[in-house]
Structure 1
């Protein structure tokens, strides 16, 4: 006979010494349109040198957001990128991307301390958007014809940009906690190999 599910155990049956994993950093999530990211990319492209000056420690930027050196590199292939963009066009749930909202000053020259405002999770998806917006990635239209962003009408662009891509954020200057959060982000989907982990 199968056990019967109970949301809460009887007091006599529960073991209060058992502790399950806990959240590393408090996270907040907001439902945001893709347009928020598109605006950030536009600002970045308008003056990339000032963004690089603000985050001199960043190894790269995705959609204008600094990526820390301890993140894995870009690994999605063209097919994976195109499927993500197609999912956005189709109104699928895109999940969320995670940033660190903490912002520390590194000095009087207005540079920010390492790990300020970094992208923690979602690099592959945000990079797919960037490639698409910059006409480096084509996705099929309703007739199966590959189309790049510059070919799309403003009406269709508005529809795409209004698609929801949730933005989650933490706020911490603790690099160890940030690295652990990064490692935990994909455990249930595509576990990172040992060489891709940030916390060792």
Structure 2
């Protein structure tokens, strides 16, 4: 059975370009064939600002939205975060989603598809990696970087139009993510 990869669209704002970028990468991940892929949109998950009274490490969740999010994260073996850059940092929706649970993230690798202006979201990814390591995750080096993202959105269809470098970067990242997913599997074993 193939390991489960969650492709998480991190931006939740109206008019976001994260959805077409995420839809494109979801298709690439499915074609890769190394993972069972699920597209997770934080706008649809719709988590409120963190509101659990007990520390996430205890897993004593009082709210149904937390239990649903816990189940989504727990079921995955690896993640790709499709992330914009806001003020040189990660979107608040991603920080909030990461903070909701703890043990469910442990010993899982993560890759990034980042987008933005000239930096392509690189600064956000660097900050996000700090948080991931605190969650006992392994952020991998390979990434898909999309600078000047509006230039890659089709004005008529709204779809993301990748370049060859985006496509080859996606394949390289998925190959490496699969290696780390398999290597970390013994650490994810419960019991």
TM-score over 0.5 for the alignment? no
| Structure showing the higher strand proportion among its residues | 2
Q: Say which one has the larger Rg.
A: 1
Normalised by the length of structure 1, the TM-score is 0.27
| Structure showing the higher helix proportion among its residues | 2
Normalised by the length of structure 2, the TM-score is 0.28
Higher relative contact order (CA 8 A, sep 6+): 1
